[in-house]
Amino acid sequence: MQADVTDRKQLVAAADRVQQELGGANVLVNNAGIMLLGPFASAQRDDYRNMIDINLLGAITATEVFLDQLREAPGDVINLSSVAGHTARAGDGVYAATKWGLNGWSESLRQELLPNVRVTLIEPGVVDTELPSHITHDATREAVSHRALRSRRPCLRGAARRGRHRSLHAQRGRGRCGRCRR
């Protein structure tokens, strides 16, 4: 079933349907998000509001609507954030703010809901998705697409810079990685 996370009525209808057809939810994955990067300017105002409504308020509203079912289960809330929740670059301030907000809210929620509901926060880095295609600022969309193409490198590139590449491969139980050939 589909529901718009910015429309509480649709989320309530989805929760009712899950309750009726499945007996309730035991996992909620808050994965809806948009990344509308660009310079901070009045022209981007609609983009800012959309990111806040979807990335942050969407997760909060979906969790609020499904919370009673999750408490009964006991259940899990899984929030998809981003490494942008810890760092920000020029042109992604509002996107980063939504992710910082999601991170802080997730930590608070985790403390409130334990032990009946577990809250997990996942913060991926650059992932090859359709997100850059939604960017309305042309120069930023092109720069992000170029950056994403350049970042398709060895699977543990960040770990390698910290000297852990070999040990992480050893943990996988193989001497060579299929992606980076090391």
* Residues with a known catalytic role: 95
Q: Is the previous residue joined to 132 through a cis bond, with omega within 30 degrees of 0?
A: no
Cα dihedral 111/113/116/118 (nearest 10)? -70
- Tokens 């309730």 belong to 24
* Identity at 162, one-letter amino acid code: R
**Which tokens go with 128?**
């090859």
Neighbours of 35 (CB within 10 A): 22
